[in-house]
Chains A and B, each alone.
Chain A
Amino acid sequence: MARPATGDRLVLSVKHAKQIIVGLVTVAAVALLLTPARHPEVIPTGRTLVRYWGYWTGVEADAMQEIIDSFNDTIGKDKGIWVQYISISQSDQKTLTATAAGVPPDIAGVMGDQLAQFAAMNAIEPLEKMAAEHGITREYYKPVYWDACSFEGHLYAMVATPFVVGLYWNKQIFQDRAEQLRAAGLDPDRPPATLAELDRYAQALEVWKDGHLEAGGFFEQQPGWWREHLYDWFGGRIFDEKTGRLTLDSPNVIQAYDWMQSYSKRIGPAEVSRFASGLPDVNTFDTPLQPFVTGALAMMKQGPWLANSIEHLRPAMNRWKMSKQEESKLPREQRKQNYMWGAAPFPSAVPGEKNAGFAGVDILVIPSTARHKAEAFEFIAFVNRQDNMEKLCSLHCKNSPLAKMSGSYLANHRNPYIEVFEELAASPHVHPVPPVPIWPQIQSELRNIAGIIVQDVGPQSSPAHLLAEAQVRYQAELDRFNARRAERRARGLLQ
C-alpha cells in the first residue's frame, strides 16, 4: 500500500499502469479471439446422434470420454451411431428440465439413489429385453449391482461405475501407537475384525493432549458419506419390500445410529465437534486436509478410489518403503508393503457376518421419451463389456460390477487392495440403495439425524426418538406417493 505522502507520484504511476494494463489486455484479447477452437466436435454425416448427459467432471469425465471415443470409432462407426457427452456437475437439473420439456437426452448418467424414484414414475425405460438381446443377464454381474439397477423386478439401468465401502487403516500410526494397542490387548499389525474390536482400536489410537483430542481413531462422520446407509453394517433394513412399509424405527436401524452416537457420548459432543472443526466437511472432503491423509484419523470408511486420492494428496503414503519403480519389480502380493495404509472390510455388528455393508452405483438410464433408445443401449452395452468396464473402473479407481474379472485388471489396479473390495462387492451381505421411490427424502432425513446425534446426546436427540418421528412422517409421505401413483394409473396417466 502506498503512503499518502507520495500521492501525486502514485497517481501518475497508476495512470501508466493503466495504459500498460489496457495495452496488454487488448493484445491478450485479440490473441484469444483469434485462436481457433482446439477440438471442434464434428459429427460425421450419416450417424445417429446419441446425447449423453452426465454429472461426471474432471478425471471421471475424461475416462468416460475415452470409452466414448473408442465406441464412436468402432461399433458406432459400424452401426452409424455417434455418442456425444455433456459433462456437467449438476446434470440432474438439466436432465430433468429437458425431460419435462420433452427433449430428454438419450442417455442420462445419474446416481443410483434416483433409480427407484424415476422407475416408479415410469420416466425411464425398462432394459431387460435389450440387455438379454446383448447377452447381458443377472449372472453377468455381481448380484448387488444387478439389484441396484432393478426396481419391482425390472431392470431400469446399467452400471456406469460401481463402488463398495471398506475400512482403511494407517499402518504407520498403528506402529507408532503399538504400545497403547498392545496395552489394550490389540494387535498393531492388523485392522480390527469385529465392531467391538473397532471401538477398542479407535479408543486406543486416540491421542489426548491437555484434555483435548489431538488425533482420532475412527469417526463414522468422517467423511460421513454413507451415514444414511449405516444400518447396512448392522443387519438393519429401512424398507420391507414384502409389506412395502418403511422400517426406519426397527431395532437394528436404531442400533446403528446408537453406535454412531456412542462415540460422541464417550468423548463428549463438544470435544468431538472441536476435533471435527479442524477437518474438511462432507462435501469438500477431497482436500489435502482430509484427516486420513494428514494422519488426524487412523482409520476411515472409504471406497476403492482412496488409493488414487492419496496419490494426489500425499503421494508419500503410496511410497512407504521404496520408489514406485522398485515396487513394480515386486510380485503383486508383496507390493502392499509399500503402502502406508491397508484396506479391509468394515466389520459388521452381526456376529459371524463377514463382508457386509453398502454398495453404490453410478448408473446409465434411458429416459422413456428418448428418441434413440436402441442406439443408446448399444453404447450402454458397450460400456458394460468386460474390457471397457474394467478400463473405466481402473481409471476411476473403483471395483468392477461384473462377476468375472480379468487377471490384468486385478494386477494393474491402482488400489493394491482391490481384491478386498471385489470380495466385498461379491458378498451376499452387501446391500444397494433401498428400493423406495421416496428415497431421496429419506436419505436427506437420515443425514440430518446423523448430524444431530453426534452434536447432541440429550434425550431429544436419541436415535430412537428421531427415527420414530421420521418413520411416521415418511411412511405418510410414502403412502401418499403410492396413492397418487395408483390414481395416475387408474386415470391412465401412467403408461
Chain B
Amino acid sequence: MTRTDARQLGKGLAFVSPWLVGFLLFMLLPIVLSFYYSLCDYTLLQPPLFVGLENYRDLVHDPIFWQSLGNTLYFAALTIPSALFLSLGLAMLLNVKMPGQAIFRTIIFLPSLMPIVASAMVWMWIFNGKIGLLNNLLSKIGVSGPDWLGSSTWTMPALALMSLWGVGYTVVIYLAGLQDVPRELYEAAQIDGAGLWSRLWNVTLPILSPVIFFNLVMSIIGVLQVFDIPYIMTPNGGQGRSTEFIAMYLNDNAFRFLKMGYASAIAWIMLLIILVLTGLAFWSSKRWVHYQGK
C-alpha cells in the first residue's frame, strides 16, 4: 500500500466512520448472533441449543415457507414494476409547472404519511365486497366485483393496489432527482427537434437512472420484508394462506411459535434471495445506469 493509498483509506474511513461505528456498536453483534441462532433451537425464553443445519433442512420441507415465499415473489412481481412506472410517471407529471402544483404534490405524498391502522381500515371499507367503493364503481361499468379480501385469488391484487397508494415516498425521491436534470439539456434536445418521448428517453431517464436504480434496489429489499399491511388486512395469512408473506411467517415463528432459531434461518434465506436479486440489479446497472459524475 502506497502512502497515498493509506491516506485515502484514512480519509475514507474517517468519513464513513459514523456508519462504521454504528455498525460495530449496534449491528455486528446482532447479525452474527442471528446467524448463530439460525443454527440453534432458540425459543427466546431458554438458552439456545445448537442443532447444526437442522433449521435449514426443515425449511426445505416446510410447505408454508415455500408458499409464503411464492406469495412474496408474486407480490413483488405485481408491485415492483407497477410502482416503478406509476411513481416515475407521477414524478414527471408533478414536475411540470402547473397551477396547484404544491397541492397536487401534497396529495400524492399524503397517503405515505397515514398511520397504518387508519389506512387499513379505510381500505377494508373500499375493498368490501358488498358496500365497498371499488365494487360500487365496478358495478357502474357493468362488472360485478369479487370479495377482494376474502378470496384467495383477489387478495393479492387488492394488497398490491393498496400499496400503490403509498407510492408518494418514491415519487418524492424521483422529484428530487428530476431537479438534477439540467435545463440546457432539454433546450439542446428541443433545438435538435426532439419530441416529448425522445427527450424522455434520451435525456430524462438516463440522468434519472441512478435514482431509478436506488428505488429498484430499495423496493426489492422492501417488498421481501412487507409485513404490516397484510398483517392487519388479512390476519392469519388470508384464506388458505394466500397472503402469508415471508416476513409474516418469520414474525410468527419468532414471536408466536417461539422458534427464533427457525425464524433466523428464514431471515438468512431471505438475505440470500435479496442478495441475489440486488446482485442482479447491480450487475445489470452497468448497462443502464449512467453516472454523470464519472
Contact = CB atoms under 8 A, between A and B. Distances in A.
Interface of A: 1-2, 4, 6-8, 10-11, 14, 18, 92-93, 96-97, 99-100, 117-118, 121-123, 273-274, 276-284, 289, 438, 440-441, 444, 447-448, 451-452, 455-456, 484, 487-488, 493-494
A455 B49 contact: no
Interface in B223-240: 232, 234-240
B235 A283 contact: yes
Interface string B127-150: 011110000000000000011111
B11 to A, nearest CB: 38
Given A277-B150, A278-B131, A281-B235, 4 more contacts: A274-B147, A278-B130, A444-B256, A484-B49
A440 B256 CA distance: 7
Contacts of B41: 484
Contacts of A121: 43, 45-46, 258
A92 B130 CA distance: 35
Nearest to A280: B124
A99 B239 contact: no
B130 A117 contact: no
B102 A277 contact: no
B103 A452 contact: no
A4 B46 contact: no
B290 interface: no
Given A123-B45, A278-B131, A438-B257, A2 B100 contact: yes
B121 A284 contact: yes
B99 A493 contact: no
Contacts of B98: 4, 7
Nearest to A439: B257
22 contacts: A2-B100, A96-B44, A96-B258, A121-B258, A122-B45, A123-B45, A273-B150, A276-B129, A276-B150, A277-B128, A278-B130, A278-B131, A280-B124, A281-B150, A440-B257, A441-B257, A444-B256, A451-B239, A452-B239, A452-B240, A455-B152, A487-B49
A289 B131 contact: yes
Interface string B83-105: 00000000000000011101100
Main secondary structure of the interface of A (DSSP, over half): helix
Contacts of B151: 273, 277, 455
Nearest to B48: A493
A10 B240 CA distance: 52
A493 B47 contact: yes
Contacts of A4: 98-99
Contacts of B238: 451
Contacts of B129: 274, 276-278
A122 B99 contact: no
B49 A277 contact: no
A277 B239 contact: no
A448 B236 contact: yes
Contacts of A117: 258
A269 to B, nearest CB: 10
Nearest to B255: A93
